[in-house]
Amino acid sequence: MEALRYLNKYFWKYRYRFILGLLFIFISNVFGLYPPVYIGEVFNIISDALSEKTSSDGTVQSLVKNQLAYYAFLVLAFAACKGLFMFFMRQTIIVMSRMIEYDLKNEIYNHYQRLSISFYKRNKTGDLMNRISEDVSRVRMFLGPAILYTTNLIISISLIIPKMASISPKLTLYALSPLPILVIAIYKVSSVMNVKSEIVQRQLSKLSSISQETFSGIRVIKSYIQEDFAQNQFMDAAEDYKKKNLSLVKVNALFFPLMVLLIGLSTLFTIYIGGMEAIAGHIQVGDIATFVIYVNMLTWPVASLGWVTSIVQRAAASQERINEFMNEQPEIEDQTTGHSNIQGDIEFNKVSFTYPDTGIQALKKISFTLKQGETIGIIGKIGSGKSTLAELLCRINDPDSGTICIGGENIKNLNLNDLRNAMGYVPQESFLFSDSIYNNIAFGDQDCDADAVMNAAKKAGIYSNIKQFKKQFETIIGERGITLSGGQKQRLSIARALIRKPKFMLFDDCLSAVDTETEELILQNIKNQSESKSCIIISHRASSIKHADQIIVLKQGEIIEQGDHNTLMNMDEEYARIFKKQLVESKY
């Protein structure tokens, strides 16, 4: 229940709507209070008329008719008013719950975007999605229906029971006695139903992930002729789903008969005890009818109490899960208030970094300086820490010890957005959105024009490829479109980085699937674009970095060689070995 306090700010935001809703619930209940009394009156009139029948001559009959018409009109008018206000109450309370749902979803989504990459490594995507969809909709059930029914219950009880007691306290006691049993029974049944539907839900997501995996891996399945295996796997999961669903349906089927039985019992009690009381002359015949209607009016709200209790429990559990994420703080936060001018030399000073989840020390006391406008090449085996170094520079992670400075200022003290804006970072794994080629390039700079997109494509060496597609820049890529080759993807990612006109270029092995000549062309284009642009080129290919002003060779997180191409060749160690080996390979 504690967890639900988080929602108070939303109640406050929509307080007028909420209070209006409560008022409408009250009014609709007041309108519902009188018709049962009128119906009781009608019974009394008829019973009186029947006992006077012998002495009557027709005048009584027309009088009775008029009275009946009058009461019939009242019942109708009150029912219409009640209905109208019920409409209003749903319009306010349920609409409020939808508005809060919308706000909450946006709040969670915004918070997700602020969180650091490490958060996404710790938590599964499915979990993230569930909390923003499934859990939020459970919370909405609390905000809407649960609040609506609870208020309705409180108001109808506090209006109807005094009214009943004013007619006959004894009959009230008897008529209401089965209700507590009803509440407990319904609470038990809905708890069982919740547990079972939870199980069904889990099986359903298992089923969908099986089919999703099959569809995305369809090429492998077909080429290994494993269709039967996939089919059996799906069938087993579907069979399990069916069994679990049937077990839920059984409990579901019990729900309504149980309710009807208990309501019937109340009615039976009322008529029996009421009949005895009427015979004894303590109450009028019409009062029995009034009571039967009141009991029926109370049954639904009271029955919903059991249902509401389980909704609130589920909402509290869901909100707790949501809060867990909302309380996560981004590890990398902007400390600055104003903008920063990102310019100058990049300086690594004894930078070390260990991945907290694996304990792998990826970088050990790395120091180097990249002068403004110069190019540095970083080379090393897989796992030597090259990508880690790039991520530290973009502040995707922060170093454990040592400092990274740009223009003499520690990057921790620079405006984070400005820093990332200045960095033309092309990550090792290119990620493209299922969208047009144009939009994928323009993603780097939301308000660029078509010329800029074309220019970026030319510089990234992908323009001629795009021109060959039938729809050119409007070609859709990804799941619903064409599949690009690895090299095409890489060059598109580069175009996306270039369009932002960044001050620094940071290429993390993003030309590995491009042939050497194209690579050289692209690097030349980038160098030509601006003389003052500093470049960091990470590559496993010595040929791509041989023109760099400075080359660093990494091995197990340490710098083992440092200098320009000629120096390193003269040293005749690791770099020279890699270069010669790759030179020989490229000849074949």
Ligand X SMILES: Nc1ncnc2c1ncn2[C@@H]1O[C@H](COP(=O)(O)OP(=O)(O)O)[C@@H](O)[C@H]1O
> Where does this chain bind Mg ion (CB under 5 A)?
386-387, 428
- Beta carbons within 8 Å of 179's beta carbon, 6+ residues apart: 266, 298, 299, 302
| Dihedral of the alpha carbons of 94, 96, 97, 99, in degrees to the nearest 10 | 130
Question: Binding of ligand X at residue 168 (CB under 6 A)?
Answer: no
Q: How far is the CB of 385 from ligand X (least distance, A)?
A: 4
The three-point CA angle 151-156-160 to 5° equals: 160
Question: Binding of ligand X at residue 360 (CB under 6 A)?
Answer: yes
Nearest alpha-carbon partner for 481 in 520, 553, 545, 432 = 432
Range 121-140, binding ligand X (CB under 6 A)? 121
Q: How far is the CB of 327 from ligand X (least distance, A)?
A: 23
Q: Residue 129 to residues 197, 231, 336: CA-CA distances in angstroms?
A: 19, 27, 31
- Beta carbons within 8 Å of 411's beta carbon, 6+ residues apart: 393, 395, 404, 405, 419
Which residue in 384, 436, 493, 534 binds ligand X (CB under 6 A)?
A: 384
β-pairing verdict for 401-406 and 409-410: antiparallel
Q: How far is the CB of 492 from Mg ion (least distance, A)?
A: 19
Q: How far is the CB of 509 from Mg ion (least distance, A)?
A: 6
- Beta carbons within 8 Å of 245's beta carbon, 6+ residues apart: 200
User: How crowded is residue 325: how many other Cβ atoms within 10 Å of its Cβ?
Assistant: 18
Q: How far is the CB of 428 from Mg ion (least distance, A)?
A: 5
Quote the CA–CA distance of 454 and 429 in Å, as a whole number. Answer: 23
- Residue number, 116 or 375, with CB nearest to ligand X: 116
Q: How far is the CB of 116 from ligand X (least distance, A)?
A: 12
Q: Residue 199 to residues 203, 204, 206, 570: CA-CA distances in angstroms?
A: 6, 9, 11, 68
Quote the CA–CA distance of 336 and 333 in Å, as a whole number. Answer: 9
Overall residue count recorded for the chain in this entry: 588
Q: Residue 39 to residues 34, 42, 72, 291, 498: CA-CA distances in angstroms?
A: 9, 5, 8, 10, 80
32 binds, among ligand X, Mg ion, none (CB under 5 to 8 A by kind): none
Which amino acid is residue 253, in one-letter code? A
- Applying CB under 6 A, the span of 75-83, 188-196, 312-320, 386-394 interacting with ligand X comes to 386-394
Q: Are 327 and 393 in contact (CB under 8 A)?
A: no
319 binds, among Mg ion, ligand X, none (CB under 5 to 8 A by kind): none
Which residue in 21, 385, 424, 502 binds ligand X (CB under 6 A)?
A: 385
User: How crowded is residue 370: how many other Cβ atoms within 10 Å of its Cβ?
Assistant: 23
Q: How far is the CB of 364 from Mg ion (least distance, A)?
A: 17
Q: How far is the CB of 582 from ligand X (least distance, A)?
A: 17
- Residue number, 44 or 118, with CB nearest to ligand X: 118
Nearest alpha-carbon partner for 177 in 277, 276, 295, 70 = 295
Question: Binding of ligand X at residue 355 (CB under 6 A)?
Answer: yes
Question: Binding of ligand X at residue 357 (CB under 6 A)?
Answer: yes
388 binds, among Mg ion, ligand X, none (CB under 5 to 8 A by kind): ligand X
100 token code pair: 């809060």
- Residue number, 36 or 380, with CB nearest to ligand X: 380
Question: Binding of ligand X at residue 182 (CB under 6 A)?
Answer: no
- Residue number, 169 or 359, with CB nearest to ligand X: 359
The helix (run of H) or strand (run of E) holding residue 508 is: strand 504-508
Which amino acid is residue 141, in one-letter code? M
584 binds, among ligand X, Mg ion, none (CB under 5 to 8 A by kind): none
- Residue number, 63 or 360, with CB nearest to ligand X: 360
Quote the CA–CA distance of 469 and 458 in Å, as a whole number. Answer: 15
Q: How far is the CB of 366 from ligand X (least distance, A)?
A: 11
Quote the CA–CA distance of 295 and 30 in Å, as a whole number. Answer: 16
- Residue number, 338 or 359, with CB nearest to ligand X: 359
- Residue number, 29 or 550, with CB nearest to ligand X: 550
Distance, CA of 520 to chain centre: 44
- Residue number, 214 or 387, with CB nearest to Mg ion: 387
- Residue number, 336 or 428, with CB nearest to Mg ion: 428
Q: How far is the CB of 395 from ligand X (least distance, A)?
A: 15
Which residue in 286, 377, 380, 461 binds ligand X (CB under 6 A)?
A: 380
- Applying CB under 6 A, the span of 127-135, 164-172, 182-190, 383-391 interacting with ligand X comes to 383-391
Under rule CB under 6 A, how many of the chain's residues touch ligand X? 14
Q: Are 296 and 182 in contact (CB under 8 A)?
A: no
- Residue number, 387 or 436, with CB nearest to Mg ion: 387
Which residue in 330, 383, 478, 563 binds ligand X (CB under 6 A)?
A: 383
- Residue number, 9 or 122, with CB nearest to ligand X: 122
227 token code pair: 């269709």
Q: Are 278 and 241 in contact (CB under 8 A)?
A: no
Which residue in 382, 470, 479, 531 binds ligand X (CB under 6 A)?
A: 382
- Residue number, 539 or 550, with CB nearest to ligand X: 539
Quote the CA–CA distance of 472 and 462 in Å, as a whole number. Answer: 11
β-pairing verdict for 534-538 and 409-410: unpaired
Q: How far is the CB of 391 from ligand X (least distance, A)?
A: 8
- Applying CB under 6 A, the span of 96-104, 317-325, 376-384, 439-447 interacting with ligand X comes to 376-384
β-pairing verdict for 550-555 and 558-563: antiparallel
Q: How far is the CB of 352 from Mg ion (least distance, A)?
A: 18
Question: Binding of ligand X at residue 362 (CB under 6 A)?
Answer: yes
362 binds, among Mg ion, ligand X, none (CB under 5 to 8 A by kind): ligand X
Quote the CA–CA distance of 81 and 66 in Å, as a whole number. Answer: 23
- Applying CB under 6 A, the span of 352-360, 415-423, 473-481, 518-526 interacting with ligand X comes to 352-360
Q: How far is the CB of 354 from Mg ion (least distance, A)?
A: 17
253 token code pair: 């089927």
- Residue number, 145 or 385, with CB nearest to ligand X: 385
Which residues make up the interface to ligand X (CB under 6 A)? 121, 355, 357-358, 360, 362, 380, 382-388
